[in-house]
Amino acid sequence: MAHLELTAEEPPCAEDGVWLTCIECSETFAPFDDVRYTCDDCDGLLEVRYADLPTWDDFEGDGVWRYDAALPTRSGVSLPEGSTPLHDVDRLEDEIGVDRLRVKHEGMNPTGSFKDRGMTLGVRVAQRVGVDRLACASTGNTSAALAAYGARGGMETLVLLPAGKVAAGKVAQASLHGARILEVDGNFDTCLDIVQDLAMRGEAYLLNSLNPFRLEGQKTIGLEIMEQFHEEEGTYPDRIVLPVGNAGNTSALYKCFRELVKSGAIEESDVPKLTGIQAAGAAPMVEAIEHGWEETERWEDVETRATAIRIGNPVNAPKALPGIRATGGTAAAVSDEEITRAQRDLAGEGVGVEPASAASIAGLRKLRNEGVVDSDEEVVCLTTGHLLKDPEAAAEAGEDPEPVPGHTEGVLEHLEAN
């Protein structure tokens, strides 16, 4: 894992052994003094760095804050989040044909997606840097999480959503938790351009995954998977398959593994292969991996029923592409039909997920069929959001209700006749 080498020498700007480093030019910055999302010198992405990295013995308690020794603050604005289940899915494991398949269901977080893990930390840092208005662009789940965590922290929240392209459950959450919702005439990438401008002008604190602190919270997905899997299976997973939108999670998992190797908690050979899945209608990361590009090319027209990953310009690509490559992983695109099938299959094992989440299973099935994934692999698929996030998509993928008369005889007749 040669890329993005972690360095441990603490620069003078560090606070409590924590600082920010530009991944492009290695310039360092104080973590909590000013509001800053990218490098002052070259506009590169920033990464949180630590003087000391913890090992397994340093973790205690539950949820995201079990891992406070690996995070830049010791507590957060919490609901609380994390400690999500790592399900067995025996029928899918047999059918797809891998040695072991577990599903890490991030839909079981407080607002129903993994975004909560980043927000508990991001909102705390916002308080620490002294801003009181929080903002994000969102395909839905970030806005739901920001609204809830902002409310919890007693702060004002502003969310920009692509008009008509956000699932009903997510808008309802943002609305009831009290966010000011701006419906933008444009796609997610346009919303992000605008909210970045607003943040640069000092109008609000940006809580998209461009914010390096959010990714630190999301890093705990990797820590939980490694701990849970090891405890229950006695090994570490060979591969982690996840849906990719802005590639924040992919970047966060890669950082998690680099830190675990650096601290000696795991061997380099224990690092799972990061395998990113996109919808065929929004697959700039897959394109970049296939062509060996350093960066993604922006897709202007994106479409998929997996609205959470309907993104044409993944901001974290410069962090995530090296992660996929360095871990020996890959990226693949799946059709909306394949996503729907996987959503049904997961539901058939009792695991209810939104369409974007099912992309991980759809992608694993495809890569297994193509022989990219071996039959002897132990795999964890990440499911990122809950079924109820997108009730319309769930109802469309499921069976229609059957009308029956309002008496028992009529119901019995119907059951026998159909």
Per-residue CA distances from 410 to 401, 402, 414 (Å):
16, 12, 6
CA 353 from chain center: how many Å? Answer: 14
Judged by beta carbon, residue 233 or residue 303, the one nearer ligand PLP is: 303
249 contacts ligand PLP (rule: CB under 6 A): yes
**Count residues contacting ligand PLP (CB under 6 A)?**
18
Q: What angle do CA 311, 137, 200 make, to 5 degrees?
A: 115
Residue position matching structure tokens 């990797």 = 222
Q: What is the dihedral of CA 240, 241, 247, 248, to 10 degrees?
A: -40
Binding partner selected for residue 42 from Zn ion, ligand PLP, none, CB under the kind-specific 5 to 8 Å limit: Zn ion
Among 248, 281, 322, 323, binds ligand PLP (CB under 6 A): 248
Judged by beta carbon, residue 76 or residue 245, the one nearer ligand PLP is: 245
243 contacts ligand PLP (rule: CB under 6 A): yes
Among 385, 393, 394, 397, binds ligand PLP (CB under 6 A): 385
Rounded to whole angstroms, the Cα distance separating 34 from 360 reads: 37
Helix (H) or strand (E) holding 242, with range, is strand 239-243
* Piece of the chain touching ligand PLP by CB under 6 A; list 16-24, 56-64, 238-246, 362-370: 238-246
Per-residue CA distances from 6 to 16, 39, 85, 118, 176 (Å):
17, 17, 30, 21, 41
Residue position matching structure tokens 């992660």 = 323
Binding partner selected for residue 24 from ligand PLP, Zn ion, none, CB under the kind-specific 5 to 8 Å limit: Zn ion
42 contacts Zn ion (rule: CB under 5 A): yes
313 contacts ligand PLP (rule: CB under 6 A): no
Q: What angle do CA 125, 126, 132 make, to 5 degrees?
A: 160
246 contacts ligand PLP (rule: CB under 6 A): yes
Strands of 75-225, DSSP E: 86-88, 100-105, 133-137, 156-162, 180-184, 205-206
Among 68, 338, 354, 377, binds ligand PLP (CB under 6 A): 354
For ligand PLP, what does the binding mask look like between residues 272 and 311, x meaning CB under 6 A?
Answer: ------------------------------------xx--
- Chain positions 134 to 163 lying near ligand PLP, rule: CB under 6 A, are 141
| Cβ-based neighbour number of residue 99 at 10 Å | 12
* Piece of the chain touching Zn ion by CB under 5 A; list 33-41, 111-119, 122-130, 296-304: 33-41
24 contacts Zn ion (rule: CB under 5 A): yes
Q: Which two tokens stand for residue 78?
A: 């919490």
List residues binding Zn ion (CB under 5 A): 22, 24-25, 27, 39, 41-42, 44
Binding site residues, ligand PLP, CB under 6 A:
113, 115, 141, 209, 243-249, 308-309, 354, 356-357, 384-385
